[in-house]
Structure 1
């Protein structure tokens, strides 16, 4: 009887953990989908809502490391000054893991369709953290 009860507890815990990971993944994918939608409307300010509003936010791109929410936002505005430069964004999700209950790591691919300026595409690795009950990007490496 003890072995059966122990097995049931382990199984229940595992199923609950897998359900939480699925829920977190779906939440983060929904944030990314909303970001793509905001981008495709030309709204970089709304796109930034997925990022941690902190001086500790880190963005890593081809020109190096940028620290802080404001500097990251200003970098986007500089690199994408108009709708032609922004194009149409599509994310592809490749791998999602949760090394800790409040930390997630997402690897994916982005594609910008830009008929006037030429398409851009590359890969990203994003480190997410659940802060005050909200999933936010704390580190974005896009190349």
Structure 2
């Protein structure tokens, strides 16, 4: 009986530990998204891009197809949003954050951009991966 109680205690302890790790991961991912929102709303596309993995393996999938690599994604954003009137004020609605595996999550959400040249709204799915101790977007699908 004593062994069973010890086993049950260990299972609940590690389950609680796992949940607190996941809560910390989600909090850290939301922090990245908040920094991106602030940078975007300040017309700081390069600052916004700090949330992305600076790699040729980064993938962005939008209405114009797949863009490969951090530099190409930055160029795409700079071309599509050339001025403060185009970047406007960004807000997110996060609908789901789910763990894929250890060190990887996907985020489902909506974005809303209020701007002088006309508002823009859409949905996204981001894949975050913990790389060198930092959460980075490794894949982005936005419409």
TM-score per shorter chain, which class?
A: over 0.9
Secondary structure of residue in 2 paired with 1:53: coil
Moved over 3 A (4+): none
Partner of 1:70: 71
Unmatched segments (≥5 aa) in structure 1: none
- The residue aligned with 1:84 is 85
Offset of 1:117 from its aligned partner?
Answer: 1.3
Q: Give, in whole Å, the separation in 1 of the partners of 2:139 and 2:47.
A: 18
Cα distance in 1, alignment partners of residues 139 and 38 from structure 2: 21
Corresponding residue SS for 1:123: strand
Distance between the aligned counterparts of 2:100 and 2:32, measured in 1? 19
Distance in 2 (alpha carbons) for counterparts of 1:111 and 1:105: 19
**What is the CA-CA distance between 1:25 and the residue it aligns to?**
0.2
TM-score, normalised relative to structure 1: 0.98
In 2: Cα distance, 1:103 partner to 1:40 partner: 27
Helix, strand or coil at the partner of 2:13: helix
- Per-residue CA shift, 1:66-92, capped at 9, x if unaligned? 000000000000000001111110011
Q: Aligned partners of 2:130 and 2:30: how far apart in 1?
A: 14
**Residue of structure 2 in register with 1:36 after alignment:** 37
Q: Please say if 1:12 is aligned against 2:13.
A: yes
Residue in structure 2 matched with residue 130 of structure 1 by the alignment: 130
Partner of 1:100: 101
TM-score by length of 2: 0.98
State the partner residue of 2:50.
49
Residue 101 (structure 1) shift: 1.4
Identify unmatched segments of 5+ residues in structure 2. none
Output the aligned Cα RMSD: 0.6
